[in-house]
Amino acid sequence: MNEQTERLTELVRGAARIVVFTGAGISTESGIPDFRGPNGVWTKYNPADFTIDRFLASAESRRRYWKRAAESWETIRKARPNAGHLAVVELEQMGRLSAVVTQNVDGLHQVAGNSPEKVIELHGNTRRVACLACKHSVERETFQALVSPEGDAPACEQCGGLMKPATISFGQMLDPETLERASAETERCDLFLVVGSSLVVYPAAGYPLMAVQRGVPLALVNLQDTPHDTYATVVVRAYAGEALPGVVERARAGTPTPFPLAN
């Protein structure tokens, strides 16, 4: 264990209300590519093809969207949680996790075993498909099977509207209630732990800064530099799945019993 990992262990040991804030980096070890890492999605695709305007533009652009979506869905549905996700579950079992605030849409925190009510999904969840007009939603697994190989997707069975994976595309509004829940958890946490995020996508990247403004320690576990590194109490430059399990284990070993939370 290096010095930074030791410091992170101490912070976890001394915290009772941890917010774990995750990005695509926590899921790369499960085989889901991130956006901005060296093998990220943006090395192959143009972000402009992923905007809501592009989706709404024409039947042809929606066919292209669904053809690409079929590929990424295959990766996500087969992915299993990795040691990083499991370490976050262990934090919950220790009674120290207030919330997971995630930018991820893969649902792997819940698959790993975190309680669904602890997971705040800022950018939605791709395991469901929802109508853009009436919000009626169905399981992605069932819906994807109805999309033709050419990318023609069925309309909403309730109102005939356009169906799209229940994620926030670029240019789409984030859900105010979800943002509010993430703010409330950030306001009451005593450690803000970022795992696998480039911290360049806003408003999400504003939460760690909100914690810093309150004087709460900010810890980062990330392979690359981020714009928030200078505000962090600890920066661990490592694979999440390699660093986190040891940190959580050692924090647990050094603590007699979890103290009660004022939930």
Contacts to ligand CNA by CB under 6 A? 23-25, 27-29, 32, 34-37, 40-41, 103-106, 123, 196-198, 201, 221-224, 239-240
Q: Which is nearer to ligand CNA, 106 or 185 (CB)?
A: 106
Determine the residue type at 155.
Answer: A
CB of 25 to ligand CNA, least distance (A): 2
Shortest spacing between CB 239 and ligand CNA, in angstroms: 4
Q: Are 100 and 120 in contact (CB under 8 A)?
A: yes
CB-based contact 236:243 (threshold 8 Å): yes
**Shortest spacing between CB 98 and ligand CNA, in angstroms:** 20
Distance CA 185, CA 180 (A): 9
Q: Which residue is nearest to ligand CNA (CB)?
A: 25
> CA-CA distance, 7 to 143, in Å (whole number)?
46
Nearer to ligand CNA, 156 or 192 (CB): 192
**Least gap, CB of 13 to ligand CNA (angstroms):** 21
Which listed residue (85, 109, 123, 228) is catalytic? 123
Nearest to 58 by CA among 165, 166, 162, 167: 162
| Residue 136 is among the residues annotated as catalytic for this protein | no
How many degrees, rounded to 5, is the angle at CA 87 between CA 84 and CA 92? 135
Q: In what order do the strands lie in the sheet with 124-131?
A: 137-139, 124-131, 163-167
Q: Pick the closer one to ligand CNA by CB: 98 or 198.
A: 198
Tokens at residue 21, please?
């804030």
With respect to ligand CNA, which residue has the nearer C-beta, 88 or 156? 88
Active site residues: 123
